[in-house]
Amino acid sequence: MFPDVALVHVHRADQFGNAQVDGYTHMDADIVRAAQSVIVTAEEIVEPEVIEADGTRTLFPHFVVDAVVEVPYGAFPHECYGRYDADFDHFDEYVALSEDDDGMASYLQKYVHDVADHDEFLALFGESRLKAAADRAIEILG
């Protein structure tokens, strides 16, 4: 498979797109290398020296990346290993609502169509829920 666009979320990247992932990487590197265009969203954009200091953690290099954007909590409601855990209550809500067309429509309205941007999406969950997800991730690293 050769996707037109790959959108991959990473822990950190520099302004050029050199990207690092902590923990398991799944098939991210394979997807990136197969795609025609690659957009990287990162928990944080760091100076190139940060990437260079631990270069063996670089999952894919800048020359396969077309754009890089800083998006804290960019994988939420899923997890970002070591940063925040998945919000399983949200997944339960999604599963319950996706059982019929009306439920799926209401889910899409609330979490996709009615939000102007990612910050507004995160606001639906509230700071305490995001903090709880971050605290659970730190416990896993324990």
Query: What confidence tens digit (pLDDT) does each residue in 28-78 have?
Result: 999 999 999 999 999 999 999 999 999 999 999 999 999 999 999 999 999
Structure tokens at 97: 């609502």
Cα-flanking dihedrals φ and ψ of residue 10, to 5°? -130, 170
What pTM, to 2 d.p., does this model score? 0.89
pLDDT value of position 101:
95
| pLDDT tens for each residue of 73-94 | 999 999 999 999 999 999 999 9
Q: Average model confidence (pLDDT) for the chain?
A: 94
Mean pLDDT, residues 10-35 taken together: 93
pLDDT-derived band at 1, boundaries 50, 70, 90: confident
For residue 142, pLDDT over 70 is answered with no
Structure tokens at 76: 């939420």
Residue 110: count other Cβ atoms within 10 Å of its Cβ: 14
**Which among 71, 43, 55 is positioned nearest to 18, based on CA atoms?**
55
- Between CA 76 and CA 121 the distance in angstroms is 10
22: which residues sit within 8 A by CB, 6+ positions away? Answer: 11, 57, 81, 82
Q: 7 - beta bridge partners?
A: 39
Residue pair 134/84 in contact by the 8 Å Cβ criterion: yes
For residue 141, pLDDT over 80 is answered with no
